[in-house]
A and B are shown apart, each in its own frame.
Chain A
Amino acid sequence: MSQPRRGVPPLKSMPQHPPLRRGLWPAFKAHRVYALRELTSLAVLYYAVLLIVALHRLLAGEAAFAQFMTALRAPGWVALNLLALAGMVFHAWTWFGVLPKTAPFLFWRGQRVADAWLVRGGLLAWALCTLAVLVFFMAGRS
């Protein structure tokens, strides 16, 4: 069985490639960003579990729900929730950033939609969703 021939020369070797390190701190910035992105999944998991706890407290009655909300005002909880918020924002940012790699090809008038526009479209959708939810909750309610 013959190997298919390619018209390109083989890739050059990289003698100056830095040695891979063992340990938790990755050597390359791209690897660190990747690790951070995967870590944000803990923020997502935390929020899912917190929603279940909130639902449980809600069903335990008005007093229990009020107590739960008051508990979340403690500085430690506020700090943790702000950290979760930061994780969520980074998650969203990276999610739309990799859209050109994860989304199927989109076509507009026979042309492929450029990667940059795919990312911009995602960020725009994010902004619209954020605005809609904020308006929904912030609109005056008696």
Chain B
Amino acid sequence: MSAPPQTPASQRPYTRSGKPAVWVLFGAGGTLAALFGPVLVLVTVVLAPLGLLPPGALGYARVLAFVQWWPGKLALLALVGLLAFHAMFRVYHGLHDLGLGSRSHRLDHLLCYGFASLCTAVCALLLWRA
């Protein structure tokens, strides 16, 4: 398989790049993960299962009420979706750093951002049914 001949950028037809959109999702997810990620992981998946939170703090009734409350739904969807896009952005670039990317990038984009979109869609569907 040979590489397609490269035409200089100035002679190629102008196409809009999807990079800004992906960058916004990456940046927003990174900021969210940096500000709230550590404490949320600590509280929700370390302290809560070990019973180190006050009783009821992350109990069934309270969490269910949260995901049935529309600001709660939006917050959880934003958290899951943005974290997924942030992580898949880095996975995508990490795979390219390791030389594992495809030449056209199209398949890699589809797989990485497709997976992030899938996570967001599944979360939205679950929240819709909550």
Contact = CB atoms under 8 A, between A and B. Distances in A.
Given A55-B76, A69-B49, A92-B38, A47 B83 contact: yes
Interface string A30-44: 000001001101111
A35 B36 CA distance: 22
Interface string A71-107: 0110001100110110011011001100000100000
Contacts, number: 148
Interface residues of A, number: 53
A84 B83 CA distance: 13
Contact of B60 (A47, A49, A62, A89): A62
A3 B94 CA distance: 36
Interface stretch (A4-12, A13-21, A109-117, A123-131): A123-131
Interface in B72-112: 76, 79-80, 83-84, 86-91, 93-94, 97-98
Nearest to B118: A52
A125 B37 CA distance: 13
A139 interface: yes
B86 to A, nearest CB: 6
A50 B45 contact: yes
B45 A88 contact: no
A27 interface: no
A48 B33 CA distance: 10
Q: Number of contact residues on B: which range applies? A: 35 or more
A133 B39 contact: yes
Contacts of A54: 44
A69 B57 contact: no
B35 interface: yes
Nearest to B93: A38
A96 B38 CA distance: 13
Given A51-B80, A52-B122, A88 B60 contact: no
A100 to B, nearest CB: 15
A82 B41 CA distance: 9
Nearest to B79: A51
A96 B46 contact: no
A134 interface: yes
A41 B27 CA distance: 13
Given A47-B83, A59-B126, A85-B41, 4 more contacts: A41-B87, A59-B129, A73-B50, A81-B41
Top 7 nearest A-B pairs (CB, nearest first) are: A41-B90, A45-B87, A72-B49, A95-B34, A92-B34, A48-B83, A44-B87
